[in-house]
Amino acid sequence: MEAIYDTIEELAKPYLDTRQNEAHVAICYRMAKRLLARYPEADPGVVLPAILLHDVGWKMVPEGRQKHAFGPYAKDMEARRIHEVEGVRIAREILDSIGYDPAKTAEILIIIDGHDSREEALSLNDALVKDADKLFRFDPEGFDIDYKRFGLEKLKYASNLRRIIDKWFFTAAAKEFAHEGLDW
């Protein structure tokens, strides 16, 4: 089954060359696999393609709008929503092109459609995608990308992240991984 995820990743790559999304998605993918190891009842056939495709829609948002649509200074919620809607369209094209399971595709598209804008998780699969996406900030490489990208002071950014862990994540494992990531 790993080969199918490699194929999805390759098809997603042309859409990930903005906003440092290649690194973002690689880190999120590793985090999703860690979470799946803790939640065997979740479906890797939904979670892994969803995390590989969740941010392909940023390619359709002009770069000048992107930095205002996410992060601590987000104020362009329309651009954030555009990336979700366009992400659904692109993900559908990619998954249909490889004949991916239609039922799994439908769930993946629902997850992508609200992965940033929807505050609640619709399922365990959705919760794991949302948590893996946020865990990017708690990975050493992801943390460095974000505090520099937003022009934040490193210790203040870490302190801000520590404060939101328990209310931000859906799963106990994600909370644990986030605390571990800032344990320095």
Whether the model clears a pTM of 0.85, i.e. scores above it, the answer is yes
Is the distance from CB of 114 to CB of 6 less than 8 angstroms?
Answer: no
List the pLDDT tens digit at each of the 184 positions of the chain.
Answer: 589 999 999 999 999 999 899 999 999 999 999 999 999 999 999 999 999 999 999 999 988 888 877 877 778 888 789 999 999 999 999 999 999 999 999 999 999 999 989 999 999 999 999 999 999 999 999 999 999 998 999 999 999 999 999 999 999 999 999 999 998 7
Domain that holds residue 173: 2-181
Among all chains, which residue has been given the structure tokens 């999304």?
21
Structural domain count, the chain:
1
Structure-token pair, residue 33: 């696999």
CATH code of residue 149: 1.10.3210.10
Tokens of 144: 């460095």
